[in-house]
Each structure stands twice: as structure tokens, then as C-alpha cells.
Homo-oligomer: A and B are copies of this chain.
Amino acid sequence: MGQMSHLFPWCTLGFLMLGLLNVPLPSGSVMARPLSEEARQKALSAAQTVIAEHGIAGFTLDAVAHKSGVAKSTIYRHWEDRNDLLFSAIGCMVQPFPTPNTGSLAGDLRAFMCVVLPIISDPVMRRTMTGVLAAATDDPELARVHQQMMEQRMAPITTILDLAKGRGEVARDLDTELALALIEGPFFVKLVVKNQPLDDATLDEMIDLIVKALTT
């Protein structure tokens, strides 16, 4: 029963597409009334807010139900259990960052960081990131979600490095993982771990140092 109900949200979209393709519905599911997308969106949005406000540990279904106006029983019709909703909400937070192309490593890094910094400096995002990181240490499934989230967000840096290698700014045999850590690390530690501010001048200085390390 619970397994059925958490399948329905996928079906909502799936049946639409199947309908267009004239694929017959699975026998037995008459689909008198599909799960409402509105309820799903409201719950999902509230879930993200709750994570932001109370962290992963303080993430409760009662809080989501209260904040969203969606009944707890309805939430259980859309998601299997607490973790299902939690992972779903976290997965939806990942908004891809744009990849700049200014023609120089320093310019690209600066442009990228100008977009990323305000976002990861935000207290809400900071709480979410640290919460997910800590929870991912215990939960392998969440660790996967977290890893994907990080990789997806930091993908532009890989592209920036490849571009720099193409221009000859950076040695072609430079280990990408190493370079990624060298670029992300200082900002992550300063902003997320130490919660220190980072003004424009310091940002420039930091990028100068990183570029100095990476260029041939």
C-alpha cells in the first residue's frame, strides 16, 4: 500500500506521457484522481524551508505539514517515508551554476566565484550544506545525493580548468581532482567552515594565489 502510493507521483507525469504515446495504463490502476502536483510542490518547498531553518536533524514531517498546509497523511501518499521526502527535497535544491568563458583562468574563476560566493555564504545554504555533509557521513544513500549535488555544482570548474589547459595556461597533466580541491577548498573552509566574510579585495587576492599555484 505504502509502496503503491509513493509510486503515484512518478505516475502523474508518466501517465501523461504514456497517454500521448497511447501506451495502455497498467491494469488495476484506474486513476480516478491523480495525486495533485500542487500539494507535492507545496510540501517540497516547505521541506526545503524546514531544512534551511532547522537543519537535517530538525527536519520533521510535522513541521513540513504545518508549514506547507499539506496534511501529513497526504505527504505519506506522495513519499514513502521521512527520508524519501528529505532526499527528494535536497535533490531539488541543486541549481546548476553557469560556466563563464572570459578567456583567462583568473577571469573565469573570478566570474564563477562571484556567482557562487553569495550563495554558499548565505546562512540558510550554509546550514543546509553542513547538515547534509554531516548526515551523509552516516547515511550512504544521502552520501550519494550529496556527492552528486557537489559534483553538479562544481562542474563548471572542471570546464574552466580544461579551457585553461587548452590555452596552455595550465599544465595538461595536472590532476583535475587535485586542482579542484585547491580551488574549492580555500573558499569552502573560509566561508562554510569558519564562517568568515570574504570581501572583493580578499577574493581577488585568493584567486591570484590559486592561479599562481596552477599556472605553468
Q: Could you list which residues of chain A lie within 8 angstroms of chain B, going by C-beta atoms? A: 54-58, 126-127, 130-131, 133-138, 143, 147, 150, 175, 177-178, 181-182, 184-190, 193-196, 202, 205-206, 209-210, 212-214
Which B-chain residue is minimally distant from A190 (CB atoms)?
A: B181
A178 touches B209 (CB 8 A): yes
Would you give the shortest CB distance from A60 to chain B, in whole angstroms? 13
The contact sample of 17 A-B pairs, CB cut-off 8 A, is A55-B134, A126-B137, A130-B134, A147-B194, A150-B194, A175-B202, A177-B196, A178-B202, A178-B206, A181-B186, A181-B187, A181-B189, A182-B186, A182-B206, A185-B190, A186-B186, A188-B188
Would you give the shortest CB distance from A187 to chain B, in whole angstroms? 7
Which B-chain residue is minimally distant from A189 (CB atoms)?
A: B185
A209 touches B182 (CB 8 A): yes
**Copies of this polypeptide in the complex:** 2
Which residues does chain B contribute within 8 Å of A127, judged by CB atoms? Answer: 134, 137-138
CB-contact partner of A205 in B126, B134, B175, B190, under 8 A: B175
Which residues does chain B contribute within 8 Å of A206, judged by CB atoms? Answer: 178, 181-182
Which residues does chain B contribute within 8 Å of A195, judged by CB atoms? Answer: 143
A181 touches B194 (CB 8 A): yes
Counting chain B CB atoms within 10 Å of each CB, the highest count among A150, A177, A190, A209 belongs to A209
